Every structure is written in C-alpha cells, then in structure tokens.
Structure 1
C-alpha cells in the first residue's frame, strides 16, 4: 500500500514540474516589458526637457532682439517694443547656432503677441530607444516658451 501512495505523489509532482517554468518565463517577459516601458517613459521625459531648454534659449534670444530705437522713455520709466519679425529672425538664428541632438526639430512659431515678450513654439519627434522598422515608435513633442526683457 505504501508503494502505491508514493508513486501517486511522485506522478503528481511530475505533472506540476512544467508549470514553474511557464511562470518563470511569464514573469521574465513581464519584468523586461516593465523595464522597457520605464526606460521609454524616461527617455520621452528627458527629450521633452531638452526641447523645452532649447525653446527657452530661443525665446530668451528673441526677447533680447531689440534695438535702441525700440526703447521708449516715459518719464523715469523705460520700456521697449518687440517686433515679431525680429523675434522670429533672432529665434531662427539661435536655433541655427545651437548644438542639439534632437530629431526633426522645427520652429513652429516665434512672435511677440504683446510687444513686450517673445513666445517661441517648437516641435520635435521622439523615437523610442528600442524600435524597429516593423514597430516604429515615435511621438511628436511640442513645447512653448515665453521670455521677456525688462529694464530695472
């Protein structure tokens, strides 16, 4: 009687032997997928930050694109008026000189809406760190930065 029961337990253990391997494979795939998602999200965040830094520099350069003829004196107060054409030219000049490794960078808009501040909108494309021709993962990124020149 004892031999029969031992053999039944042995057969039962043999039936469950493959299920551990399947669970291990599943959890490895799940872990790798989670790592890939976190790396991609971090890469997208950093790419957006770099694009925003570039747009911020272009907006600052555009806000400083005024000449002394544009300065208005009102009593003891000085103010200036920015021209949208000069703002766009200064932002474009900054981007031509700037060194960056972003993909498909485009100056969407550079203007002065209130004649006091420069607003620059830029667009780029983010590509996932691991992408193939069969599964190209890309996301367009657009940022807007505003800068103002003031006299103190």
Structure 2
C-alpha cells in the first residue's frame, strides 16, 4: 500500500510545474497589456495637451476691430489654422491638425490627431491606432 501511494505521488509531481508555467505566462501577458494601456493613456494625454495648446494659440490669432467705439476681437478660421499650425511646428509634435477654425468668430476649435503604436506587447494589443482630440478656446474681448 505504501508503494502505490508513493507511485501516485510521483505521477502528480510534474502537473504543478505546468500549472505554474501557465500562470506565469498569464501574469506576464497581463503585465504587458497593463503597460500598453498606460502608454495609450499617456499618449492620449499628450494629444489632448497638443490640442489645448493649439486651440489657445489659435484663439490668439484674433484681430482687434473697433465697433461702436468698443474694441472687439474678430477671429477668422484662416488665422486659427495658421496659429495652430505654427505652434505644432514649434513644438515639433507628431500631432497633425485635422480641423481648425472658428464656429462663431470668438472661439477657436482645433482637432488634432497623432498615431499610437504599442511599444512592447504587439501580440496582445492592436497594432496601433490614431488618437484624436478636439479643444476649444475663446478670445477675451467680445
């Protein structure tokens, strides 16, 4: 009887190793996906920041006009696009302007996009995607 218990114990010795290896691979895959998710979130924050800065620069492209004896800031879509493009060139960002303009002559609305590629875990996450962000900024005088 002792011999059969020892034989049964020896037969199950390798199953723990396979289970440990399986859990280790699962843990590594989970860590890699979390790293890529963090990288994606940081890349989106960079695109949001570029859009905010471009909209702010676009809102500074106003021209002052005097109407009824009061200064009025007039904003054109061409000026918004020009200022936002200049800012992104100075920043040397990989973001590009998708759309820039003014919906009401007072606000600058800029949409920026940038590509994102995974750094480590190409097997577990998509090959890449285009991140996009829209920001609006208003001029001070109206």
Native 8 Å contact 1:79 1:150 kept in 2: no
Question: Runs in 1 of length 4+ with deviation above 6 angstroms?
Answer: none
Could you tell me which runs of 5 or more consecutive residues in structure 2 were left unpaired when the two chains were aligned. Answer: none
SS in 1 for 2:14: helix
Native 8 Å contact 1:131 1:137 kept in 2: no
Aligned length: 140
Over aligned residues, Cα RMSD in angstroms?
2.0
The one of 48, 71, 83 aligned to 2:44: 48
Could you tell me which runs of 5 or more consecutive residues in structure 1 were left unpaired when the two chains were aligned. Answer: none
The one of 6, 9, 16 aligned to 2:5: 9
| Paired position in structure 2 for 1:86 | 79
The one of 3, 11, 15 aligned to 1:19: 15
Write the deviation string for residues 27-82 of structure 1: whole angstroms up to 9, x where unpaired.
100100110110000000000000110111010000010122xx34456x653221
Native 8 Å contact 2:77 2:101 kept in 1: yes
Q: CA deviation at 1:130?
A: 1.4
State the structure with more CA Rg.
Answer: 1
TM-score, normalization: structure 2? Answer: 0.89
TM-score, normalization: structure 1? Answer: 0.84
Q: Is residue 141 from structure 1 mapped to residue 131 from structure 2 by the alignment? A: yes
Residues 58-97 of structure 1 aligned to structure 2 (within 5 Å): 58-68=54-64, 71-74=65-68, 78-97=71-90
